[in-house]
Structure 1
Amino acid sequence: MAADATLSATVRDEFGKGASRRTRRAHLVPAVLYGHGMDPIHLALPGHATMLALRLDNALLEINVEGESKARLALAKQIQRDPIRGDLIHVDLQAVNADEKVVVEIALQIIGDSAPDTTVAVDQNSISIEAPVSDIPEEIQIDVEGLEAGAQIQAKDLKLASGVTYVGDPEDVLVSVNHANANEVPESGAAAVEATEPAAE
């Protein structure tokens, strides 16, 4: 199974804020690798290569740890970034096996246009799914083409690949279609997009 990216890692033997700052000044990213009952391994990852690898959500990473003959597979479970510059500060890596399933957060992508004079309210921008490590989708599409006001799309309506399951109540409402009303403001936490009628030719 091909990983999304391969990174070489050195083992860190210094800890604390001062050590982390020195690591970052060397254009490396402090990280910790854990999981499967193993003792956590504190690592330093190449800064630029790690930044590129983590552009893909839920990227499967092949980590070549110095001194080890076999690469480890991992997923980034927590990514800390500088709030101003966006630079990587620290990465938590979860070790995984090629044949296991994992629970990950996946973005929802709305496609299509609902019926004229309606708005599409997105109740959740992402969902949790359980999927094989080798088959984690980049996103899950929800098609609202032609849906009329009052229509809802629930978790049970999702078209998921074989082996992929929704983590949660299948009755969860993910998207709802409402009558457009220019005087109303969408509720907090819900994104709304108005579907307009096509221009006359």
Structure 2
Amino acid sequence: MTDFNLNAVARDQQGKGASRRLRHANLVPAVIYGGEQAPQSISITFKELVKVLESEAFYSHIVNLNVDGQVQPVVLKALQRHPAKNFPMHADFLRVDATHTINVRVPLHFINQESAVGVKQQGGIVSIIANDVEIITLPGNLPEFIEVDLAEVEVGTVVHLSDIKLPEGVKIAALEQGASHNNAIANIHAPAGGASQDSAE
């Protein structure tokens, strides 16, 4: 797995005015919370944060956050972006430790889309409904992403959360709430206005 290191500086001033001043100085306001310590307001260099955000793995990975020389393991919990320009405006980080589970959203990687039975043999089209999923796991078991294999999926089949093959020690948060939360994540359907090869026979 990739190692992510991020530098930050503690800040005392809070509020919209203080945040604006930080952004004008090419800094991004952020906060660290969780664990037994009180929440801590910090600022991160805009350029450094933008660089790590370019990596998909950063969003589902433990980050070594160095605040004034003190390194804390954290995960990114929330990111506020500018509505028009899409650059980061504020970040929330959650402290983690090896003995407590965390809830983190991780990307779903759908493999074998083009070679799926429903596509290659039946002429169907893949529709991706969810690009990520919230999981519950200990930090040591945190995956960068979870693969969903569509190879055997046929036209008319809906893939649900319960169909995901999970790594060891990983649970899906929605499924912990009961079967009614077994949401669809993908399907293969016949082309609009036409039937698949299978149904046309």
Normalised by the size of structure 1, how large is the TM-score? 0.78
Could you list the runs of 5+ residues in structure 2 that have no partner in the other structure?
none
1:4 partner letter: D
- What's the counterpart of residue 190 of structure 1? none
1:123/1:81 Cα in 2 relative to 1: closer, same or farther (>3 Å)? closer
Aligned partners of 1:33 and 1:92 also within 8 Å: yes
1:183 partnered with 2:193: yes
2:138 partner letter: P
1:10 Cα offset (Å): 1.4
Displacement over 4 Å in runs of 4+:
none
Secondary structure at the counterpart of residue 174 of structure 1 = strand
1:98 Cα offset (Å): 3.3
Aligned pairs for 1:162-201 within 5 A:
162-169=168-175, 171-178=182-189, 180-183=190-193
Aligned partners of 1:142 and 1:158 also within 8 Å: yes
Deviation digits for residues 88-115 of structure 1, max 9, x if unmatched? 2111111111343211112222221333
1:74/1:119 Cα in 2 relative to 1: closer, same or farther (>3 Å)? same
1:128 partnered with 2:134: yes
Aligned partners of 2:141 and 2:168 also within 8 Å: no
Return the structure number with greater helix share.
2
Secondary structure at the counterpart of residue 188 of structure 2 = strand
Aligned pairs for 1:139-150 within 5 A:
139-150=145-156
Aligned partners of 2:136 and 2:171 also within 8 Å: yes
1:141/1:46 Cα in 2 relative to 1: closer, same or farther (>3 Å)? same
RMSD: 2.7
Which 10-residue stretch deviates more, 22-31 or 145-154?
A: 145-154
Which 10-residue stretch deviates more, 15-24 or 148-157?
A: 148-157
Aligned partners of 1:33 and 1:94 also within 8 Å: yes
Could you list the runs of 5+ residues in structure 1 that have no partner in the other structure?
185-194, 197-201
Return the structure number with greater strand share.
1
2:95 partner letter: A
- What's the counterpart of residue 105 of structure 2? 105
How many residues align? The count is 184
1:146 Cα offset (Å): 4.2
- What's the counterpart of residue 66 of structure 2? 64
Aligned partners of 2:160 and 2:183 also within 8 Å: yes
Deviation digits for residues 68-104 of structure 1, max 9, x if unmatched? 6x41111111111112222221111111113432111
**Percent of aligned pairs sharing the same letter:** 29
Normalised by the size of structure 2, how large is the TM-score? 0.78
Aligned partners of 1:97 and 1:133 also within 8 Å: yes
